[in-house]
């Protein structure tokens, strides 16, 4: 048995969850469900990322306090995740007592380790708003390619990165005024130190923490200059007032930058869960723990998770992540999600069209391969895949067999032994499913869900072929006149097919948990949930009539989804 502490990246508390976000939560949830089904111990936590300038400004625009805004968003996020069957063990917020305590602990540890430095820097200041402007709140002309309207940190046209004071004709995005330069003192985490460099170099190279492509990316960041000095810049962990966040404990007027307390929020959420479960948090985050820490993230925040975060943890005496799994971005019909193209689809907008939440889970699973590649949601492929695979093939097995089983055999399902003994068709379908299940488990483990789906659908096809070859509908047409042997053979065919259906539903359960749960409870009348092991020892002796399991999706609904978001 393995033990895991798993996280998905924290959604920012200034807007609704959209389907681009859902790629990650669905990917993580599938992985977590698989581990739990296998009997591994997993605690899966997440939280709202509730601090920072954008939240402060959004609350101001909406005449709310930041606390009111983040509380509202917290409720909406929780509802959205529940609708898509994302089953966190704890969903918390970074604006919590636990996080405040942990953040200052980490800060003091780093300070004691000599890795915090106070420096005077020059930053843009909006005199009307009386605030220092973060990079994204300064707009100007790119110093490299002269494109207008570029942000203060990087140019969207030529990809150059620079500091905001390099921008030509800078303007405050808040007031349109030309900002002034003002001196201010900030706290820096000395990422450029030799100690950090050595630790990170070792961390990145000595473990299988990272995907190969991520490791290569990190290695680029870990290069040294001609003098042998680290190219990593020190990391500014402080912000000036006004700011919505945690005060730096030994300074009057400074706050922790949101990216300092956000990942600590994983630990704070875990801590909150531990309190509710009466567990000792040190069993999970202490240096000697046997619990593996697994982060699922988008490739855009690799820098924070694979550099800043492990260094922060290491030098404040906590355990470092065992694995960081990055995924790519979602494109829709081959293009970036965009409001003007109507492809910026929120979780809510999707659900309002009554398209099953599990269909999106299935579709994403069929596309994700465990790499950092982007994945494309092609709307017509989505419709065809869901209708074809889930309705046309998977559920088709049940709809072709359960009616006859109920009508002629009172729902009794023959056991595997009886089927083998009576077997006149010599099928080893169950063994085949068991053999392939090993590969499927492996693919799930590696987050290669597209491979898992492909293998499962291959088995689904074989079961459908078996039914097709044995044509139970032909025998039953003539049911009054058939011999006892023929009746037994029919019972065998139907029993075997429905047993295979049970096994297939276990294989699909991490992806479409609600439907498989219904199959267990209603069709198989199970009191206990099926686990992965049940594939090998499936105990089904009876089926009952179920309510409708899955509806087809209509192309019209999916088209209106994209239309409706314009
Ligand atoms: Zn440029």
pTM of the entire predicted model: 0.95
- Contact assessment for residue 538 and residue 515, using Cβ atoms and an 8 Å cutoff: no
- Domains in the chain, start-ordered, CATH in brackets? 1-115+190-327 (3.40.50.620), 375-535 (1.10.730.10)
Distance 163 CA to ligand 1 centre (A): 13
Q: Note the pLDDT of residue 73.
A: 98
Distance 86 CA to ligand 1 centre (A): 40
319-351 per-position pLDDT tens digit: 999 999 999 999 999 999 888 777 889 999 999
Distance 138 CA to ligand 1 centre (A): 15
Q: Note the pLDDT of residue 39.
A: 97
Q: Number of C-alpha atoms within 13 angstroms, CB side, residue 344?
A: 7
Distance 135 CA to ligand 1 centre (A): 15
Distance 137 CA to ligand 1 centre (A): 17
Distance 140 CA to ligand 1 centre (A): 10
Distance 20 CA to ligand 1 centre (A): 27
Q: Note the pLDDT of residue 153.
A: 86
Distance 139 CA to ligand 1 centre (A): 12
In sequence order, which residues have a C-beta less than 8 Å from that of residue 126 and are 6 or more positions away?
Answer: 132, 133, 137, 172, 174, 175, 177, 179
Q: Note the pLDDT of residue 564.
A: 66
In sequence order, which residues have a C-beta less than 8 Å from that of residue 399 and are 6 or more positions away?
Answer: none
Q: pLDDT 10s per residue in the chain (566 long)?
A: 999 999 999 999 999 999 999 999 999 999 999 999 999 999 999 999 999 999 999 999 999 999 999 999 999 999 999 999 999 999 999 999 999 999 999 999 999 999 999 999 999 999 999 999 988 899 999 999 999 999 988 888 888 888 888 999 999 999 999 999 999 999 999 999 999 999 999 999 877 899 999 999 999 889 888 888 888 989 999 999 999 999 999 998 999 999 999 999 999 999 999 999 999 999 999 989 999 999 999 999 999 999 999 999 999 999 999 999 999 999 999 999 888 777 889 999 999 999 999 999 999 999 999 999 999 999 999 999 999 999 999 999 999 999 999 999 999 999 999 999 987 777 899 999 999 999 999 999 999 999 999 999 999 999 999 999 999 999 988 898 999 999 999 999 999 999 999 999 999 999 999 999 999 999 999 888 899 999 999 999 999 999 889 999 999 999 888 876 65
Percent of the chain surpassing pLDDT 90 = 86
Instruction: In whole angstroms, give the CA distance from residue 124 to residue 178.
Output: 9
Distance 146 CA to ligand 1 centre (A): 6
Distance 176 CA to ligand 1 centre (A): 21
Q: Which residues of 252-283 are buried (b: 16+ CB within 10 A; e: fewer)?
A: eebbbbbbbbbbbbbbbbbbbbbeeeeeebee
Distance 314 CA to ligand 1 centre (A): 37
- Contact assessment for residue 121 and residue 183, using Cβ atoms and an 8 Å cutoff: yes
Distance 168 CA to ligand 1 centre (A): 11
Distance 136 CA to ligand 1 centre (A): 15
Q: Note the pLDDT of residue 566.
A: 53
Cβ count near 126 (within 10 Å): 22
């Amino acid at each position: 048995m393995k033990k895991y502490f798993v996280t998905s990246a924290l959604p920012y508390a200034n807007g609704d969850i959209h389907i681009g976000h859902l790629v990650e939560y669905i990917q993580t949830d599938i992985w977590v469900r698989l581990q739990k089904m296998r009997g591994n111990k997993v605690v899966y936590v997440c939280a709202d990322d509730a601090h920072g300038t954008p939240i402060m400004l959004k609350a101001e625009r909406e005449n709310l306090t930041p606390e009111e805004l983040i509380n509202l968003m917290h409720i909406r996020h929780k509802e959205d995740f529940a609708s898509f069957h994302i089953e966190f063990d704890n969903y918390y917020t970074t604006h919590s007592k636990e996080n405040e305590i942990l953040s200052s602990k980490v800060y003091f540890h780093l300070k004691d380790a000599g890795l915090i430095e106070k420096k005077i820097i020059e930053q843009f200041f909006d005199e009307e708003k009386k605030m220092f402007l973060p990079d994204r709140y300064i707009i100007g002309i790119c110093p490299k390619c002269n494109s207008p309207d570029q942000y203060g940190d990087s140019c969207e046209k030529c990809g150059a990165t620079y500091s905001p004071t390099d921008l030509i004709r800078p303007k405050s995005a808040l007031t349109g005024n030309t900002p002034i330069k003002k001196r201010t003192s900030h706290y820096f985490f000395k990422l450029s130190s030799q100690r950090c460099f050595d630790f990170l170099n070792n961390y990145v190279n000595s473990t299988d923490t990272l995907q190969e492509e991520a490791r290569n990316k990190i290695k680029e960041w870990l290069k040294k200059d001609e003098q042998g000095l680290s190219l990593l810049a020190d990391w500014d962990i402080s912000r000036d007032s006004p700011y919505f966040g945690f005060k730096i404990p030994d300074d009057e007027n400074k706050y922790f930058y949101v990216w300092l307390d956000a990942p600590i929020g994983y630990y704070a959420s875990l801590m909150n869960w531990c309190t509710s479960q009466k567990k000792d948090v040190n069993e999970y985050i202490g240096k000697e723990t046997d619990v593996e820490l697994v982060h699922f993230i988008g490739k855009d925040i690799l820098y924070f998770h694979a550099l800043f975060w492990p260094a922060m943890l290491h030098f404040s005496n906590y355990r470092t992540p065992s694995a960081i799994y990055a995924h790519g971005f979602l494109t829709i019909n081959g293009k970036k999600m965009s409001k003007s193209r109507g492809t910026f689809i929120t979780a809510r907008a999707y659900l309002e069209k009554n398209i099953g939440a599990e269909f999106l889970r299935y579709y994403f699973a069929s596309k994700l391969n465990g790499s950092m590649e982007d994945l494309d949601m092609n709307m017509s492929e989505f419709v065809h895949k869901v209708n074809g695979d889930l309705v046309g093939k998977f559920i088709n097995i049940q709809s072709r067999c359960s009616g006859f089983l109920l009508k002629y055999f009172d729902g009794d399902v023959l056991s595997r032994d009886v089927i083998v003994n009576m077997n006149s068709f010599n099928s080893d379908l169950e063994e085949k499913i068991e053999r392939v299940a090993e590969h499927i488990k492996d693919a799930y483990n590696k987050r290669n869900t597209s491979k898992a789906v492909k293998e499962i659908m291959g088995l689904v096809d074989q079961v459908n072929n078996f039914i097709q070859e044995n044509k139970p509908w032909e025998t039953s047409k003539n049911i009054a006149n058939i011999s006892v042997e023929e009746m037994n053979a029919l019972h065998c065919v139907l029993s075997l097919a429905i047993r295979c259906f049970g096994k297939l539903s276990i294989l699909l359960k991490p992806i479409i948990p609600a439907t498989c749960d219904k199959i267990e409870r209603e069709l198989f009348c199970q009191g206990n949930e099926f686990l992965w092991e049940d594939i090998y020892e499936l105990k089904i002796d009876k089926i009952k009539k179920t309510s409708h399991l899955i509806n087809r999706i209509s192309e019209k609904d999916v088209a209106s989804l994209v239309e409706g978001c314009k």
